[in-house]
Amino acid sequence: MMGPIRLGVNLDHVATLRNARGGVHPDPVLAARVALAAGADGITIHLREDRRHIRDADLERMRAEITAPINLEMAATEEMVGIACKARPHACCLVPERRRELTTEGGLGAAEQEDALRLPIRQLSEAGIAVTLFIDPDQRQVEAAARLGAAAVELHTGRYAGAFETDSGGTEALRQRELERLQGAARDAIRLGLACHAGHGLSFENVGPVAAIPEVSELNIGHFLICQAIFDGLPAVVSRMKSLMTQARGLG
Ligand code: PXP
């Protein structure tokens, strides 16, 4: 029987909405409480260099007021490592960051940037933070993450999710190919002693096959959940996502 799978709810877009008007509504910390009460296992937030959604004060309040695991997504810069070592979230997921991108566009080039990543990973690990590298589902990248001493990889599911968009050229064959890449990389991660997470672009429609990969123990999902919450409410969408994940593993 497959093991359980955790749902990390990414709340960046709650902060995006708050920032659109200024002020305090909607409050990302309140959203964290609601998501956790509805079945989320952890909270994910991305402190970007330009602070376009989550801000330093949000991270501080999350750490002070939420006892569930906090997964901080961030670039591997000196500034961010300093902030993370002070805030000490449960985990840090290192992501590539380009100022002008709408969202994280691709995985971290762990294989290409081994030298630059070694120090931040060591500093975060020594502070007791579990380090995850957000990478494309590619054996070279998984091997680099293992050499770097990361605790986990998070496989970028963006291309898999994009293959569901038939208007933009997505096909069943493409979906299958991308799913097989994820399955292969997940097996590589476990073989090399890394925990395996996945995320990006996941929705009710496409989550099942990814949640059914036995080696994957955590999914981080944001954009779709916050959008769908406009129609159904945050507790309902978090609870439905968690039950789709659990059912896909034959545990529901
Ligand atoms: N994982 C990582 C590393 C991300 O950067 C993001 C987007 O912030 C997600 C997961 C969640 O992606 P989405 O918002 O498309 O569900």
Residues with CB under 6 A from ligand 1: 10, 12, 46, 73, 93, 95, 103-104, 134, 154, 199-202, 220-224
Rounded to whole angstroms, the Cα distance separating 145 from 133 reads: 7
CA distances from 252 to 34, 134, 137, 198, 244 (A): 22, 28, 27, 20, 8
Closest to 160 measured CA to CA, from 127, 112, 208, 120: 208
Mutate to test the pocket of ligand 1, among 17, 71, 73, 225 (most ligand atoms within 8 A of CB): 73
In the predicted structure, residue 199 carries a pLDDT above the cut 70: yes
Cα(199) to centroid(ligand 1), Å: 6
Residue 178: per-residue pLDDT: 98
Beta strands at 6-10 and 42-46: parallel, antiparallel or unpaired: parallel
Cβ contacts of residue 119 below 8 Å, gap of 6+?
A: none
Please identify, by atom number, the ligand 1 atom nearest to the C-alpha of residue 201: 15
Considering only residues 193 and 166, tell me which one the structure prediction assigns the higher pLDDT: 193
**Rounded mean pLDDT, 214-229:** 98
Residue 84: per-residue pLDDT: 98
Cβ contacts of residue 87 below 8 Å, gap of 6+?
A: 59, 60, 63, 72
Cα(156) to centroid(ligand 1), Å: 8
CA distances from 209 to 24, 196, 202, 245, 248 (A): 38, 15, 11, 9, 7
Please identify, by atom number, the ligand 1 atom nearest to the C-alpha of residue 224: 16
What average pLDDT does the chain have?
Answer: 96
Q: What is the pTM of this model?
A: 0.97
SS3 of residue 111 by DSSP: coil
Cα(220) to centroid(ligand 1), Å: 6
Residue 102: per-residue pLDDT: 75
Cα(201) to centroid(ligand 1), Å: 7
Q: What are phi and psi of 10, to 5 degrees?
A: -85, 120
Residue 99: per-residue pLDDT: 66
Please identify, by atom number, the ligand 1 atom nearest to the C-alpha of residue 13: 14
The two structure tokens encoding residue 15: 């902060």
Beta strands at 42-46 and 70-74: parallel, antiparallel or unpaired: parallel
| pLDDT single digits (tens) 134-143 | 999 999 999 9
In the predicted structure, residue 2 carries a pLDDT above the cut 90: no
* H or E element, residue 68: none
Are residues 110 and 135 in contact, defined by beta-carbon separation less than 8 angstroms? Answer: yes
The two structure tokens encoding residue 97: 């960051």
Q: What are phi and psi of 63, to 5 degrees?
A: -65, -35
Rounded to whole angstroms, the Cα distance separating 10 from 14 reads: 9
Backbone angle region of 197, left / alpha / beta, with phi > 0 → left and psi within -120 to 50 → alpha: beta
Cα(134) to centroid(ligand 1), Å: 10
Closest to 72 measured CA to CA, from 82, 61, 84: 84
Residue 1: per-residue pLDDT: 72
**Rounded mean pLDDT, 117-135:** 98
Question: Residue 105: pLDDT band by 50, 70, 90 thresholds?
Answer: confident
Domains and CATH numbers, the chain: 6-248 (3.20.20.70)
| Residues with catalytic roles | 46, 73, 200
Mutate to test the pocket of ligand 1, among 45, 93, 97, 104 (most ligand atoms within 8 A of CB): 104
